[in-house]
């Protein structure tokens, strides 16, 4: 995949490639420009701040002119750089789901949980995750509107991938910033992979969220992983179909007593084969794995199944 730091989608909208772990086309941020300050949709992790600043400059903008950080949720690859950016941007504010706000102000529990998963890879993967000043963190209730340049984005609470997830809908342009609830789909592919890391995957809530997104009738989806795609209906069908299939298969394999490592390896082989059948480039399968690792997929769905089982 080619690496283009900044690609203009519309006169005031840029797709920024954060070159995560040296790979193009895996983690994106979006830049909305305006006469009175610019807005970043997603910040990426702390480890990619250098790439973020370079991409912003390639769009012809100074990082210092960014006044708003708007994140879909607080996972490290989406919001990890927010605190560091706020320290460098003293007038900027962070907009986030009410359930995620406190973790941005005091990320200790979030980082402790992540460290149990990533261990000594925390720093190389994610870099610094600095606390955000409380008075500069704005909580967005469901259906709140945020002015971003000339655009008005509607914050739609869309749990499923995470309880604290927001999708941002631009009704005038009929575009939607989907975060992770819209799935992972990389450039040049139609294959949509559901990212299902622990701890709070909820398949039923995910279906309800996609129903809300469909009802808004977007013409285009702007994915954090990665880029703009059209034909949302086909995209959502692929996403939910695979989410349901994987949930059913993992439930069956767990019931059969298969170890987590065996289930993960089997799922990865099937996923890689599906991607290769569409695009015979092994780099693409590796990029999908970087965006949403199969082991995390299995762990998140297993936790969901266990939680659902214990509540029935």
Looking at residue 312, its pLDDT comes to 42
Q: Is the model's pLDDT at 36 over the cut of 50?
A: yes
Query: In the predicted model, what is the mean pLDDT of residues 156-182?
Result: 98
Looking at residue 310, its pLDDT comes to 52
Query: In the predicted model, what is the mean pLDDT of residues 181-185?
Result: 98
Q: Is the model's pLDDT at 178 over the cut of 60?
A: yes
Place of tokens 């406190």: 102
Q: What angle do CA 164, 167, 169 make, to 5 degrees?
A: 150
pLDDT, one tens digit per residue, over 226-274 is 999 999 999 999 999 999 999 999 999 999 999 999 999 999 999 999 9
Helix segments in the chain, DSSP class H: 49-58, 76-79, 82-88, 98-105, 108-118, 122-126, 203-215, 232-255, 260-278, 282-291, 294-310
Q: Is the model's pLDDT at 104 over the cut of 70?
A: yes
Query: In the predicted model, what is the mean pLDDT of residues 106-133?
Result: 92
d(CA 21, CA 225): 14
Backbone angles phi, psi at 243, to 5 degrees: -60, -45
Q: Which residue has the higher pLDDT, 161 or 116?
A: 161
Q: Is the model's pLDDT at 311 over the cut of 60?
A: no
Looking at residue 117, its pLDDT comes to 85
Cβ burial 24-52 (10 Å sphere, 16+ → b, else e):
bbbbbbbbbbbeebbbbbbbbbbbbbebb
Query: In the predicted model, what is the mean pLDDT of residues 43-70?
Result: 97
Q: Which residues are registered as beta bridge partners of 144?
A: 155
- Residue among 179, 98, 97, 101 at smallest CA distance from 136: 101
Q: Is the model's pLDDT at 124 over the cut of 70?
A: yes
Q: Is the model's pLDDT at 116 over the cut of 90?
A: no
Q: Taking a C-beta distance cutoff of 8 angstroms, is the pair 97, 166 a contact?
A: yes
Mean pLDDT, all residues of the chain: 96
* Domains detected in the chain: 6-244 (3.60.15.10)
Secondary structure (3-state) at 166? strand
Q: Is the model's pLDDT at 144 over the cut of 90?
A: yes
Place of tokens 């299995």: 298
């Amino acid at each position: 995949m080619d690496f283009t730091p900044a690609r203009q989608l519309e006169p005031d909208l840029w797709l920024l490639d954060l070159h995560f772990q040296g790979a193009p086309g895996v983690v994106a941020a979006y830049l909305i420009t305006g006469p009175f300050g610019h807005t970043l949709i997603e910040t990426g992790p702390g480890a990619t701040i250098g790439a973020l600043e370079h991409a912003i400059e390639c769009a012809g903008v100074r990082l210092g002119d960014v006044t708003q950080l708007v994140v879909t949720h607080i996972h490290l690859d989406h919001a990890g750089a927010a605190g560091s950016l706020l320290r460098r941007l003293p007038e900027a504010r962070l907009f986030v789901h009410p359930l995620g706000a406190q973790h941005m102000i005091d990320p200790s529990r979030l980082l402790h949980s992540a460290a149990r998963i990533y261990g000594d890879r925390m720093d190389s993967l994610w870099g610094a995750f600095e606390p955000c000043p409380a008075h500069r963190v704005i909580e967005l209730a469901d259906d709140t509107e945020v002015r971003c340049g000339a655009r008005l984005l509607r914050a739609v609470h869309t749990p499923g991938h995470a309880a604290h997830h927001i999708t941002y809908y631009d009704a005038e342009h009929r575009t939607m910033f989907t975060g992770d609830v819209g799935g992972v789909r990389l450039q040049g592919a139609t294959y949509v992979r559901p990212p299902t890391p622990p701890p709070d995957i909820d398949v039923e809530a995910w279906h309800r969220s996609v129903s809300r997104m469909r009802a808004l009738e977007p013409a285009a989806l702007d994915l954090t992983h990665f880029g703009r795609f059209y034909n949302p209906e086909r995209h959502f069908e692929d996403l939910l179909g695979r989410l349901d299939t994987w949930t059913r298969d993992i439930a069956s394999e767990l019931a059969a007593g298969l170890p987590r490592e065996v289930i993960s390896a089997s799922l990865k082989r099937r996923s890689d084969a599906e991607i290769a059948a569409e695009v015979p480039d092994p780099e693409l399968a590796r990029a999908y794995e970087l965006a949403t690792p199969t082991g995390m997929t299995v762990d998140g769905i297993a936790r969901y199944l266990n939680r659902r089982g214990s509540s029935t």
